Amino acid sequence: MPLSRVRTTAAVALVVAAAAGCGDAGGLKGAGATPTAVSPARLWPELTPASSPAFEIGEVTTEVVKGVEVPGDDIRRVDLVAVVRAEIESNPDDYEGAKAPYRETARRMADCGPSGGDASRCPVLTPYFRDLSGDGHEDLTLGFQLLPDKLTAIRVYTVQKHRLVRVMSYDDAVSGVELAGRSVIIRAPSEVAGYEYRLQWTWDAQANAMLLTHDEMLRTGSRQHSPKPSATSSANASSASGR
């Protein structure tokens, strides 16, 4: 707002307040002049604008889950254990072998399902169903533990052309996950005491996927220190969000 308009508005407010009487608690009062807005300063205008990214951030990650059926196109009838096992099979370097980072996850999958052993050891977490894509049908938000690193894999799936499609994928040391509208919000600990990361993925119809729309560091208040994410978590966060 131009400064002259601000001053004029403030003057009118003072006249109205005076006319209403000094003791009138409901009258308008001038708040004083508003500081002049400062426009953004463009730095290094001589630089040639980039036409392609220098690093792969992973803005759009969609993939058909092979070998997993969707009975009647009802995502609630999908075999969740089969979904996780399909991902393990497609990423053997991460799950198979004594040196694989998530080898314990693969081992504990034997505890999942009706014929499994100790169900409390199954790394697959409780699923959540909500229409995130806005097509009138529920989508699946699924999490499973990445062990022994104590990370959490967050995935979102939808049904397209009778196939299960993964439309979001993110791994990190997670302190909280929320669903809000068409967004998935993930909170992760920061190495800076008293702060945490807040990342938000939101459905985008043009990309036909969940896109990372917000990546910010927020103050948490009275917390004295934050758990330090593992090296694997930090590397994954950098590749997924650029932070």
Burial of 134 (0-12, 13-18, 19+ CB in 10 A): exposed
Average pLDDT over residues 80-105: 96
The reported pLDDT for the residue numbered 122 is 96
Cα(134)–Cα(138) distance, integer angstroms: 9
Compute and round to an integer the Cα radius of gyration of the chain.
Answer: 25
What is the residue range of 93's domain?
Answer: 63-219
Whether 239 is in a domain gets the answer: no
Assess whether pLDDT exceeds 50 at residue 230.
no
Query: Any long-range contacts for 158-164 (C-beta under 8 Å, 24+ apart)?
Result: 158/75, 158/132, 158/133, 159/70, 159/73, 159/75, 160/208, 162/70, 162/73, 163/64, 163/65, 163/70, 164/64, 164/65, 164/68, 164/69, 164/70, 164/75, 164/78, 164/83
Residue 221's pLDDT band (boundaries 50, 70, 90)?
confident
Confidence of residue 24 (pLDDT cuts 50, 70, 90): low
Between 126 and 226, where is the model more confident? 126
- Of residues 132, 125, 135, 128, the one with CA closest to residue 210: 132
Asked which of 52-56, 139-143, 145-149 is least confident by mean pLDDT, the reply is: 52-56
Sheet strand arrangement including 128-130: 63-64, 163-172, 151-160, 139-146, 128-130
Domain count of the fold of the chain: 1
- Facing residues of 139 across strands? 130
The answer on pLDDT for 237 being more than 90 is no
202, pLDDT greater than 80: yes
Evaluate whether residue 231 is within a structural domain: no
Give residue 218's pLDDT band: very low, low, confident or very high (50, 70, 90): very high
Report the distance separating Cα 140 and Cα 155, nearest Å.
8
Domain assignment of residue 184, yes or no: yes
58 domain residue, yes or no: no
Q: What is the pLDDT of residue 115?
A: 75
Confirm whether 29 is domain-assigned: no
* Domain assignment present for 3: no
How does residue 204 score in pLDDT terms, banded at 50, 70 and 90? very high
178 part of a folded domain: yes
pLDDT for 15 beyond 70: no
pLDDT tens digits along 183-197: 999 999 999 999 999
Domain-located, residue 144? yes
- Identify the weakest region by mean pLDDT among 2-16, 82-96, 166-180, 189-203: 2-16
Task: Report which listed range, 9-23, 176-190, 209-223, is most confident.
Answer: 176-190
Residues 28-82: tens digit of each pLDDT: 777 777 878 888 898 998 988 888 776 665 567 799 999 999 999 999 999 999 9
Per-residue pLDDT at 131 exceeds 90: yes
Look over the chain and give the mean of its residue pLDDT values, rounded to a whole number.
Answer: 83
Lowest-confidence range among 18-27, 130-139, 140-149?
Answer: 18-27
